[in-house]
Structure 1
């Protein structure tokens, strides 16, 4: 999910955003949320002793929404990266456009930064080896960003829209794509494409059993050309318990790796400790799993 709300200059990017937000899948796959019937996959479950932390359902049992961790339990911060590729971008990938960013992942490993990667199923289809490697690396955790990267509300940064009757299957299809790629231990977390949701979407996803994860710091890396400006925006916005939204797509966020190489040492100088989203959710839920 690519977010435009930021101070970094991206004049005219709103139209381009819709195109970039749609990228996800293998060349030749139908890649739409209206594809033929497929097995249903709800949020993965594990043994009770290792069950990932989640939030309790909201009012009327609605899918819970997490924005940031506690502000008073230490200087922790979660960097999150959206691995975006929309369902109709297979031809662009086949033509050489890069929706992955192995250099960024390499930088996170080099800097020893835990992170949460919100991955679309189409991205996992396109880059199964990378998806599998990220999922098997204990430094990272993988969570669901839908299959198609189509919006769950209307008027969401120009993204195509998933119909209400396809919302659940689009999320379940992403879990199936992760399983096919061999990604283990996928977290029961979901990030709405574009960050756009409403009560209808939260209600529709109740049976999937996920916690929706938003953020409180927008990096502004989408379509940015100034890595220093991206880094500055993050450094100015981070507070204890913050969730930072960034991107893991070279074509749509080419400066993210450079920004991260500035952000990480500066936040560490300020006493911040990097954690995965699951640690913040556990702290927010009072340590319950």
Structure 2
């Protein structure tokens, strides 16, 4: 049945009305999504550019990696670790808390005498971004004074407890004369899974490359047992193992957003 002219006109008006509504909705959605994308990109850019980063790894063509040990608890295997390192003729970095330094002064001296880096791991192993600037300085200076008294060594490397940091912490550490150091290869030795898991985690880590910094713990249960295989495996891959002080750039560098230290 055909519509009359009087019936078609209202239908056309309704169609035009809904078409206009759909166009308006589509336009509003486009503007919203455009603004959302722009604002999100701006937020990411500000966050990336404004955040101070510690050194996770070093951008280098040289086949070098650094082994590091956090010393915050336990001491049963420290001498074993030192003996293994001596056997393979390599030097590493030990990051020590003030409590550990105070409890094991002879081991601090032995680490220094063996030619290894002495690094600051804070006095009380707190979440330091939660501290005031003055408290941050106290946490760093206390360890520095103890180590300097024992070894006549002025430390310049700092690893935040738990890997926890913010801009203020890195800035205060810098003011105190420290390079803030993280890691890009975690051995997971602290999980006490066993020797082979430690070895496999390090040697097959997706981030392992020239300039990597490897995290281990002198107080973990299986670290000393796994260490020879870790060293041999790294050397078989062609890496020279060095202390962090021999790996990082001391000046004329910048940090990439992924935590890589790049020479200018």
The two structures share one fold, judged by TM-score above 0.5? yes
Kept after mapping to 1: 8 A contact 2:158/2:173: no
Aligned twin of 2:125: 149
Task: Report what 2:64 is aligned to.
Answer: 76
- Hey, what does 2:218 align to over in structure 1? 248
Against the structure 1 CA distance between its residues 223 and 101, is the aligned structure 2 distance closer, same or farther, given a 3 Å change threshold? farther
1:180-259 pair list within 5 angstroms: 180=149, 182-237=150-205, 238-249=208-219, 253-259=220-226
Question: Please, what TM-score do these two structures have when normalized by structure 1?
Answer: 0.65
- How big is the shift at 1:166? 1.0
Number of residue-to-residue matches in the alignment: 206
Partners in 2 of 1:270 and 1:255 — Cα distance? 22
- Whole-angstrom distance in 2 between the partners of 1:230 and 1:209: 33
Which structure shows the bigger proportion of residues in helix conformation? 2
- Bigger relative contact order, structure 1 or 2, given CA contacts below 8 A and separation 6+? 1
For 1:82 and 1:110, locate their aligned partners in 2 and report how far apart those are by CA, in whole Å.
21
RMSD over aligned CA atoms reads 2.7
Aligned with 2:117: secondary structure?
Answer: strand
Note if 1:266 corresponds to 2:255: no
Tell me the secondary structure at the aligned position of residue 249 of structure 2: helix
1:67 corresponds to: 56
Question: 1:205 aligns to what SS in structure 2?
Answer: helix
**Based on CA coordinates, which of the two structures has the bigger radius of gyration?**
2
How far the C-alpha of 1:63 sits from its partner, in A, is 7.3
Which residue does the alignment assign to 2:97?
120
Structure 1 spans left out of the alignment, 5+ residues: 1-58, 86-96, 155-161
Q: Secondary structure of the residue that 2:58 maps to in structure 1?
A: coil
Contact 1:78 1:274 survives alignment (8 Å): yes
